[in-house]
Amino acid sequence: MYKILLTHHLPQPGIEKLQQSVNLEIPNPDGMNYDAIYEVIESYDGLILTGGVKIDEQLLDKAKKLKIIANYGVGYDSINTVYAKKKGVLVTNTPDPVIEPTAEIAFGLMVSLMRNITALDRKLRENPDFKWDFMQNLGTRMYGKTLGIIGFGNIGKAVARRANAFGMKVVYFNRSKKPKEIEKEFQADFLPFNELLKTADVISLHAPYTKETYHLIGREELLLMKKTAFLVNTSRGPVVDEAALVTALQDKEICGAGLDVYENEPKISPELLEMDNVVLTPHIGTTTLESRTDMALSVSESILTLIDGKIPVNVVNS
């Protein structure tokens, strides 16, 4: 029987089927760090990885029995997938369950940011004498504005669908231009990267984190944006140069930012915490009970498929 290490407690409905077929062990239901995993990994056939713990060559060398790392999430930049492949270890992820909840958070940040929802909620609670006036507390209307989506994969397209309903114009940049039928379905027009930065009233980031996308949005890119523009990031923190973003916000080079991810999580630049034109959430893109359960079902299915002698659907290092 396969012996599987689960590094954090997951919703029971998502792992019930797996528990019937393998020896599933959860040494610490509150989560395991690198050292804790390294200490025990040698005896396991599979690893369900949560929390973005780094899986490096040293750990993979010790994991002599390991056949699969089922990553509980879509981003797998913490795993050395190349070395894992060399060691004969499959790495899978869970792309489908994260699409709609991540798009919801991206759009929620956008709405809250442009209409000052979070800032005004905070002021109403903190100041009983807060002034109400028809020319106070002005936000920015979303209807008719241009949303620029960087990374037009499944999540980017789900955000575009929401923008269509809000009456926004959608433009996108992607490594490859999408077919005409996709552009028509999501009412989205392709723009070159720099042109999108100059054109969009709101930019929403949905690019994966790779060497090529590290600091994709930095000082030069922020200066290309409109001074009235907003930046939303629900992809990966290091896609944005956080120090450059702080400077751009302080110098009013852009209008505001909505962030669910950060360059040095869980640390957040203290300047961002003090700004009313910034909306912050603690990496909750997939944090719904439904999504967490579906993700658990996905990692379970990957392992059960491998046990059945087949290749899992969501292998990222094949």
CATH number of 117-275, picked from 2.40.70.10, 1.10.3720.10, 3.40.50.300, 3.40.50.720: 3.40.50.720
**According to CATH, where is 3.40.50.720 located in the chain?**
3-97+288-307, 117-275
Length of the chain: 318
Q: Which of these is catalytic: 8, 115, 161, 283?
A: 283
Say whether 265 is catalytic: yes
Write the burial class of residue 61 (CB in 10 Å: 0-12 exposed, 13-18 middle, 19+ buried): exposed
- pLDDT mean across residues, the chain: 96
Amino acid at 38: Y
Model pLDDT for residues 83-137, shown as the tens digit of each residue: 999 999 999 999 999 999 999 999 999 999 999 999 999 999 999 899 888 788 8
Q: What is d(CA 286, CA 74) in angstroms, rounded to the nearest whole number?
A: 10
Model pLDDT for residues 220-266, shown as the tens digit of each residue: 999 999 999 999 999 999 999 999 999 999 999 999 999 999 999 99
CA neighbours closer than 13 Å in the CB half-sphere of residue 59: 22
3-state helix, strand, coil in the chain (%, to 5): 40, 15, 45
Give the mean model confidence (pLDDT) for residues 18-45: 96
Q: Which of these is catalytic: 16, 25, 265, 290?
A: 265
Considering only CA atoms, which of 314, 289, 286 is closest in space to residue 301? 314
Q: What is d(CA 171, CA 146) in angstroms, rounded to the nearest whole number?
A: 7
pLDDT of residue 133: 83
Say whether 236 is catalytic: yes
Whole-model pTM: value is 0.91
Cβ contact 314:95 at 8 Å: yes
Q: Which of these is catalytic: 104, 162, 206, 236?
A: 236
Q: What is d(CA 121, CA 99) in angstroms, rounded to the nearest whole number?
A: 28
The tokens describing 116, both together, are 């000052």
Homologous superfamily assigned to 3-97+288-307: NAD(P)-binding Rossmann-like Domain (3.40.50.720)
Say whether 8 is catalytic: no
